[in-house]
Amino acid sequence: MPYPVPPPEPPPLVQTLPDPTPNPLQPQTIPTSTELSSGVRSEQPNQPVHRNETVAYQLPKLKALKQELASSSSSSSVSADSLGPALSLNLANTPSPQLRGKVSYDFTSSLNFAPKTFSTPETPLLSQTPSEPNPEAEIPIPVILPTDLLEVTADRQEFDQRRQIVTTEGNVMIRFQNVLIDADKAQVNLNTRQVVASGNVALTRENQVIRGERMDYNLVKSTGVITNASGVISTDDLASTEVSEPLQEQGVGPVLRSPISDRITSSQPVENVVPTEGADVEVSGLSFPDLQGNVNRLRFEADRIDILPNGEWEAQDVRITNDPFSPPELELRADTARLRRISRFQDELLTTGSRLVFDQNFALPLFRDRTVIDRRQREPTPISIGYDLDDLGGYYVEWNVNPVRFGPIGLDISPQLLFQRAFEEDLDPGDGGFYGLQAQLSGPLSPQTFFDSRLSITNFEDFPDLEEDEYRASIRVRQLIHGYTLTGEYSYRDRIFNGTLGFRTVQRSAGAVLTSPEILLGNSGAVFKFQGGLQQIEARTDRLDILNEPGRDNDRTTRTRFQGLATLIYPPIIWQGEALPLTPTEGLKYTPRPVVPFIRLILQAQGVTNIYTEDDSQSYLSGTVGFQGQFGHFSRDFFDYTGFNLLYTQVALDGESPFLFDRRVDESILTFGLVQQIYGGLRAGFEYSINLENGLAVDNEFTLEYSRRTYGVILRISPVRRIGSLNLRISDFNWTGGSEPFSGIKE
């Protein structure tokens, strides 16, 4: 009885994609692959040229190669010499082993090309006449791991089995693990894992896409070189570490609110737009000057890019912009640049000879060559000018030193020169009163935990024995719990604005606050949110029954306060227009978000209850009604934008707080504001709040803004608060499609 023919070994994964319009005069070719076993061969002759096909190659397992990779240095230089001499496309009729089979893929993501299953051969396999094997012997069947597969698709490809080199031409796509390479022509050395590609090259690796004219790339080392490169830097996959701040009872808000133009625009009806949050640099006299927001996508061009492992790269003569259109309005140009991952949440961009270029004709040199790309940047401008009459004596200049990083935690230090105080008090540079300091240590402790500590020194005259009114400090830890935010905090001399009572200082405060997320009530558009807190507070009081207590040497008192706060907002749209198209000459000419004309009715109710020890309490219910809207599209040069708001607030009050910082005294308030385009991107505006019972100004603000699609500058002055600020906006766009040349001319 003859022995049965042994079963064939599983073939390399080869999938033939025939041309949908085959040429009847041209014989169909059969794909080839690397040889799995010398004992199984196909005797069917074939041409080693494949047209309009996808071929999967098994990468050879070379022990020497693994040892080389294990001992290789971090050098990013690669060469095409390892591929050997170039191959000619004139083919010889040399028989080559072949196996046909099916392969199916499970695309778990856009970059996961690992095969899911493969089937037995769909056609009978021809084999050489084998020697008679032992019928009881087990025949091993090798298993090809997905990590050992290289998939190549091209109009024409040739495989040199002896040298293990694949030569391709026309619509080339090379897939290996999480790497995808597109090109017009390419050669792949399977032994060295080296790829040389030319013509419309595109390298997709994780969330980065880099294009160029020519590329040398090693698939295993993840290193290479691309010339005449362009692409996109994307950081939107980084985990968000931000959690919401605790709410504040109405009238006891942050030191400086967002500009009226931003508040009106953010209230416009939601459209299918691509601009996202962007970032804002705020330079004011009260809060630490920082850049807040997201810049998640940046375009770049460079003469040469050296690709490094872990998503890093170096570039020469680089241009970077956040503008999706060309020519870009705003560019960062540098002689050299290096993108380096410094933590799970941050990328660092190091540049030399860097400068900002506005509208292709105005260049502003930068004194800082380090930029941290983060989910929430805190990267101030190198030099800033601020105004704070109460703490710093007026105008001052601040130098923002390069931050020091301790993993995800960053230390920002900003020395201050107090020029107005020095002029009025006749101080010289040797006097401690000439200087101030802002410092901040902050960063994510985990994806759900954020740490923030701040220190402000307003006078170094008696340093280090500072008086209690010469510095402020705070420590806060925010924890995200199933959408809710738990904030633990300790602050010393925190300053809070409270309407007609002005700024009030909380001497000491320690406690915790739980804040809810915004809860949407059905499809009505109404939003509900609440918070609860428990704090021990020491602050100023004017209550005579407290001040007359024996043994008192100041006007402060200490109480434990429990607070409950709830807010309901219902802003229905009365009328809504249409936005202009998302083009650089229409909807996105002067603004990062197309303007949607609208009129909205504002209905808001808020209830606050404060219960203090020593049998004190304060509760109130406030109601706000008004209108908010905007007209025009902010695309023409003259008077094409008008924004407005008109609000009335009435308060029903019961009880009185023993403290001044949270006491409710403004019970009837009228607020009105206007923002008007003057010419081009220049807008001016004001907002005024008045107590209708006594005629006192609750708050006011004047703004002058220059707005463009990719950036904006706004100057704000508040006479009531006696502060001013200068804001720099950098817009972000989640654009789709390729990255066109910065010149705007497509070749």
- Residue with more model confidence, 112 or 410: 410
Strands 208-218 and 449-457: unpaired
Q: Give the per-residue pLDDT at 597.
A: 95
- What is the C-alpha to C-alpha distance for residues 347 and 312, in angstroms, rounded to an integer? 9
Average pLDDT score over residue span 200-220 = 86
Tell me the per-residue pLDDT of 566-594, one tens digit each, with 9 for 90 and over: 999 999 999 999 999 988 899 889 988 88
CATH 2.40.160, domain 260-277+354-543+555-730, yes or no: yes
Whether the CB-CB separation of 528 and 603 falls below 8 Å is answered with no
- Residue with more model confidence, 100 or 188: 188
CA dihedral 455, 478, 492, 405 (to 10 degrees): -20
Nearest to 678, CA basis, from 634, 724, 710, 644: 634
Structure tokens at 688: 């005024």
- The structure tokens 């308030």 sit at 669
Residues listed for the chain: 747
Q: Give the per-residue pLDDT at 92.
A: 42
- The structure tokens 């990590």 sit at 147
Whether the CB-CB separation of 280 and 729 falls below 8 Å is answered with yes
Q: Give the per-residue pLDDT at 472.
A: 93
3-state secondary structure 2-35: CCCCCCCCCCCCEECCCCCCCCCCCCCCCCCCCC
Would the pLDDT of 688 be above 70? yes
Q: Give the per-residue pLDDT at 141.
A: 54
**pLDDT band per the 50, 70, 90 thresholds, residue 267:** low
Tell me the per-residue pLDDT of 592-633, one tens digit each, with 9 for 90 and over: 888 999 999 999 999 999 999 988 999 999 999 999 999 999
The DSSP-derived string for 600-651 is EEEEEEEEEEEEETTTEEEEEEEEEEEEEEEEE-S-SSSS-EEEEEEEEEEE
Tell me the per-residue pLDDT of 545-562, one tens digit each, with 9 for 90 and over: 888 877 777 889 999 999
Percentage of the chain with pLDDT > 90?
Answer: 34
Q: Give the per-residue pLDDT at 691.
A: 95
Residue type, 428: D
Whether the CB-CB separation of 639 and 676 falls below 8 Å is answered with yes
Average pLDDT score over residue span 695-701 = 93
Q: Give the per-residue pLDDT at 410.
A: 85
Q: Is 675 helix (H, G, I), strand (E, B) or coil?
A: strand
Q: Give the per-residue pLDDT at 649.
A: 96
- Residue with more model confidence, 667 or 323: 667
Could you state, in order of their start, the residue ranges of all structural domains in the chain?
A: 147-226, 260-277+354-543+555-730
Question: What are 688's strand-pairing partners?
Answer: 672, 700
Nearest to 208, CA basis, from 187, 189, 226, 186: 226
The number of CA neighbours under 13 Å toward the Cβ of 97 is 17
Tell me the per-residue pLDDT of 160-198, one tens digit each, with 9 for 90 and over: 888 889 999 998 999 988 889 999 999 999 988 999 999
- What is the C-alpha to C-alpha distance for residues 551 and 530, in angstroms, rounded to an integer? 40
Structure tokens at 577: 């227009």
**pLDDT band per the 50, 70, 90 thresholds, residue 101:** very low
- What is the C-alpha to C-alpha distance for residues 92 and 94, in angstroms, rounded to an integer? 5
Out of 2.60.120.10, 2.30.110.10, 2.60.450.10, 1.10.3720.10, the CATH code matching 147-226 is: 2.60.450.10
- What is the C-alpha to C-alpha distance for residues 606 and 608, in angstroms, rounded to an integer? 7
Count Cβ neighbours within 10 Å for each residue of 212-233 and write b for 16 or more, e otherwise. bebbbbbbbbbbbbbeebbbbb
- What is the C-alpha to C-alpha distance for residues 391 and 283, in angstroms, rounded to an integer? 15
**pLDDT band per the 50, 70, 90 thresholds, residue 142:** low
Nearest to 312, CA basis, from 76, 77, 79: 76
Whether the CB-CB separation of 401 and 413 falls below 8 Å is answered with yes
Tell me the per-residue pLDDT of 344-403, one tens digit each, with 9 for 90 and over: 656 778 888 888 888 888 888 876 677 766 544 444 456 777 788 888 888 888 887 777
Residue type, 673: G
Tell me the per-residue pLDDT of 237-261, one tens digit each, with 9 for 90 and over: 433 334 444 444 433 333 455 566 5
CB neighbour class for 333 (10 Å; exposed up to 12, middle 13-18, buried from 19) = buried
Angle at 708 between CA 702 and CA 710, to 5 degrees: 120
CB neighbour class for 607 (10 Å; exposed up to 12, middle 13-18, buried from 19) = middle
Helices (H), strands (E): how many in the chain? 5, 40
**Phi, psi dihedral angles at 91 (to 5 degrees):** -100, 145
Q: Give the per-residue pLDDT at 478.
A: 96
| Residues whose CB falls within 8 Å of the CB of residue 539, separated by 6 or more in sequence, listed in order | 504, 505, 506, 507, 509, 556, 557, 659, 660, 661
Q: Give the per-residue pLDDT at 38.
A: 33
Tell me the per-residue pLDDT of 42-68, one tens digit each, with 9 for 90 and over: 333 444 677 778 888 888 875 545 554
